[in-house]
Amino acid sequence: MNASAEKSLTHRVAIVTGASSGIGRATAILFARQGAKVVVGARRAAELEAVVAEISRAGGHAIAVCGDVKDEAFARELAREAVDRFGGLDIAFNNAGTLGEMGPTAEVSSVGWRETIETNLTGAFLGAKYQVPALLARGRGSIIFTSTFVGHTVGFPGMAAYGASKAGLLGLVQALASELGPHGVRVNAILPGGTDTPMGRAVASTPEARAGVAAMHALKRLATPEEIARSVLYLASEASSFTTGTALLVDGGISIHRG
């Protein structure tokens, strides 16, 4: 990595979940480029190792922990690796999530509902549960969750489990921000709009569908993962030192656009 006085995360240690692709991958690489040592987590080992290799080739530092965010032992291991391998924890980006079972609410199975809630909401809670002690030991830090505009500013049919799970994260953000603010730890959520990721392409699987989703945004396009990552970096860095308890819309204007 090129030496730069402007690296905003020098001497910081970060956890990024859902780091094997999309927003998580882009954020892990950006964090490392900005000087952080990064613990990347996801279920797919080969893809995680590819992220670590890319960071290492650029002169950064990263390690991979493979697992599922629904597993409490995985959350514990991520925090332990940050402390044991890199000396502590300053930033946690709880990004892993799933669209879950979609369709008319009356037809969503209880198994599908629970799977979505456990991944998107309980998984985030478990991550924070083990990240908080490490952050408090530093006396400062930033926790960031990936929520969405769906269920917050816009409702979409067929996405009840997804919308409910992601809206629930905002309640978690507010509770944690209140608890941890006196200890110097900030807690926020990022709410992306339509983004060109594997998950985004699962919702809009054809060029026509992607064009339709893009047209819903005031900017008339989808975001790149790197654009969303830059907003996560803002919340992770001292640039947002007086920002906590927020739901930061980075949605290309989809929440306000009616054209």
Contacts from 108-116 at CB under 8 Å and sequence distance 24+? 108/160, 108/161, 112/161, 113/160, 113/161, 116/161, 116/162, 116/165
Question: H or E element: which one contains 66?
Answer: strand 61-66
E strands of 194-253, at which residues? 247-250
Can you give the three-state secondary structure of 28-42, one letter per residue?
HHHHHHCCCEEEEEE
Annotated active-site residue 162? The verdict is yes
Rounded CA gap, 252 and 219, in Å?
5
**Torsions phi, psi for 38 (to 5 deg):** -125, 130
54: left (phi over 0), alpha (psi -120 to 50) or beta: alpha
71, amino acid identity: D
Cβ pair 194, 223 in contact under 8 A: yes
- Active site residue: 117, 162, 172, 217, which one? 162
Known catalytic residues?
162
